[in-house]
Every structure is written in structure tokens, then in C-alpha cells.
Copies of this chain bind each other. A is one copy, B any other.
Amino acid sequence: MPKSPATKARSKRAGSQLTPGAIIDASLRIAARGSEDAFTVRRLGEELGADPTAIYRHFRDKDELLLSVADHMLGEALDAIPDGLDWKARLRALADASLAVALKYPVVGSAMASRTTRRSNEFRVVELILGAVLEAGLEGSEAAVHYRMIGDTLLAYVGQQAAFLLFDADARAADNSAWNREYRLVDPQRFPHITGLSGELAEVTDEQIFDATVEALISTVEKRAAAHRGV
């Protein structure tokens, strides 16, 4: 496809037709390769067939590029959420889609865990969460605080999972097997609870943890809304 006649005009001078969109697309392709391909300015230049420093004509620095890529990812997550869901199902769908997109592009997912893109798709996410907590029955500053609780917790958790994917295979394996190694060998006198639950601890899955966290956020909103109605 890159060699078809239709694209000839765009490449008459190799790599000289850079646009912000083309740079973001190339960034997403590199990010999707996870830890196998470092997301560097030089690698990005290669992917674009241009000089590594050409991107500085379109983005102030790498951070601004990352924010734009992250906002693109939020858009991808939002587009995966179907219409017509009630507030709980909307929050669950947002959580699942956010995790999926962060694991798909882990370099960006982890780098953006403590940032705000302040771009259009982030506005859509905020509007979605606010709509959910308002539908649940929260109002005013209580709605605002609980939106932040949900947004920050989701972002942090999802970024944490993405960052873990970026460690080299050895470090990941060591962390994953810790429950079956270091935690099995712990002194039963000093750590009776760890010893007593070592089997159950080794069997907990990432899905169980994520589900429990999301349900904790949802049921907290529900509980606050019920308390509010009771007043």
C-alpha cells in the first residue's frame, strides 16, 4: 500500500510532508510495540523517514507531543464505549476501555498517569464521569470531589499497570513470582497473616484486583448518593 501510485505525490521529496497528525500516528505505532521498541525522538524520526529533529517544527518538545498522543488514546477509549448505558455501566466501560488503551500503548499510558492533557478528549472523559456521578444523585462539590476520586484513581491505576508492562521480562517475572517465592519463605512468627494466606495471595489475578477497585469506586458513589437522599 505505501508503494501505490496514489501516494506518490505525497512522497516526491522523502519525508518532507510532516504534519502533527502524521507524527501522532507514527508515535502510536511505536508505542504499540511496547518495551520492544524505545519511544525516542530518534526512533520517531526513523518511523517518519525524516530527520529526528524535524518534529520540533510541529511540537514544542517531547512532552507536548506525549500529551497530544495521550489525548488521541483517550479518544480511542471513549469511542469504544456504547451508548445507552446507565451510570454504573458507563463507569465500568470507561474503566475497561482506559485500561485496554493504556496496555495497548504502555509508554504513553505510563508517562501520562499524573498529567492532565487539557485537550478535547479529556474534556469528554470529565463530562462522562461528571454525568455519571450526577445521575447517581450527587450534587455540587460532592459531585466534584467524587469525580476527581474516580478520575485520579483510574488514571493512577491504569498508568501503574502500563508502567509494569515496560519493565524488562526478567524484572516482570521476578515481581510476578514474588508471591510464590519470597512471600512463601517469610518467617511465620513475624508474618502469620502472610503465611496463612500465601496460597490465596499467589492466586489473585489482575482482573480481580481491577474489578474490586472499580466496584469500590462505584459503590462509594452509590452510598454517598443514598446518604444525600436520606438527608
Contact = CB atoms under 8 A, between A and B. Distances in A.
A209 B140 contact: no
Contact of A144 (B178, B186, B192, B201): B201
Given A197-B144, A204-B145, A118 B178 contact: yes
B157 A200 contact: no
Nearest to A221: B216
Contact of A209 (B148, B159, B209): B148
A116 B175 CA distance: 6
As for how many copies of this chain the complex holds, the number is 2
Contact of A204 (B114, B115, B141, B160): B141
A26 interface: no
Contacts of A141: 200, 203-204
Interface string A96-121: 00000000000000100111101000
Interface residues of A, number: 60
B149 A216 contact: yes
Interface string A187-231: 000111110010011011000110011011101100100000000
A116 B178 contact: yes
A160 B155 contact: yes
A131 B193 CA distance: 6
28 contacts: A63-B171, A114-B161, A114-B163, A114-B167, A118-B175, A118-B178, A123-B190, A126-B183, A126-B194, A127-B193, A127-B194, A130-B193, A130-B197, A131-B193, A144-B203, A146-B212, A147-B201, A148-B204, A152-B160, A152-B213, A153-B153, A153-B156, A156-B157, A156-B159, A156-B160, A159-B160, A212-B220, A216-B217
Given A114-B161, A116-B178, 11 more contacts: A63-B171, A113-B159, A116-B175, A144-B200, A144-B201, A152-B209, A153-B153, A212-B220, A216-B217, A219-B223, A220-B220
